[in-house]
Amino acid sequence: MGIFLSTYENKVDKKGRLSIPMPFRAAATTTSYQGVVLYQPQGLQCIEGADVKFLEQLTVQLYDSENPLSNAQNARISKLLQSSIQLAFDGGGRISLPQKLKDYAGISTDVMLVGLGRKFQIWDPSAFATYQTWLDKLASEPGAEIPGLGVQGLTPPTNDKNSNHDGGGSS
């Protein structure tokens, strides 16, 4: 299972085709299917995509009798699966974006492809800029620190002779 990383700028050609960056194609072709699955995410004005394996795992969750989902979770996964479209890569690593999805996301020519680990998003650049501003604000709020991604909460060492930042005791 591959992961989708980084952000790429690209264009939809006149025939509605979008070239998928090579790292995204590599992440999506870890199964026998050579393509991606696209769908409308709930609450965001973009297109989301993933490899087939990601959708297979959602389907397993939907039908898992040992860990049943709530009715709301079932409804959300059902809507996602119903709106999903499998798109195979052509010889040039492109997919044809369905007009319905382009209209939903407000995409005409220019796009941003944004890696999110197990999935990716396709945005109109201006909508993505607005979303990024909102994300930046949200990520700077207290409590947004992620354990293991840095040294949040640690006090940097000082030149104070009485400080104890080297692990040894002061005398």
pLDDT surpassing 60 at residue 5? yes
Residue 79 counted as domain residue: yes
Q: How confident is the model at residue 148, as a pLDDT?
A: 65
User: Which range of residues forms the domain containing residue 93?
Assistant: 7-139
Residue 13 counted as domain residue: yes
**Quick one: what percent of the chain has pLDDT higher than 70?**
82
Tens of pLDDT, residue by residue over 24-82, are 999 998 767 899 999 999 889 999 999 988 888 878 877 776 777 788 887 888 888 88
Q: At 99, list the tokens.
A: 């007009």
Tens of pLDDT, residue by residue over 150-167, are 545 544 445 555 544 444
Residue 162 counted as domain residue: no
Residue 129 near residue 106, CB atoms below 8 Å: no
Residue 1 counted as domain residue: no
Rounded Cα distance between 104 and 127, Å, is 12
Residue 93 counted as domain residue: yes
Q: How confident is the model at residue 158, as a pLDDT?
A: 52
Q: At 6, list the tokens.
A: 């980084």
Buried b (16+ CB within 10 A) or exposed e, 93-130: bbbebeeebbebbebeeebbbbbeeebbbbbbeebbee
CATH number for the domain harbouring residue 110: 3.40.1550.20
Q: What does pTM read for this prediction? A: 0.79
Residue 155 counted as domain residue: no
**Quick one: what percent of the chain has pLDDT higher than 90?**
54
Mean pLDDT on 107-118: 96
Q: Write down the mean pLDDT value for the chain.
A: 84
Domain count, the chain: 1
pLDDT category of residue 88 using cuts at 50, 70 and 90:
very high
pLDDT surpassing 90 at residue 117? yes
Residue 52 counted as domain residue: yes
Residue 168 counted as domain residue: no
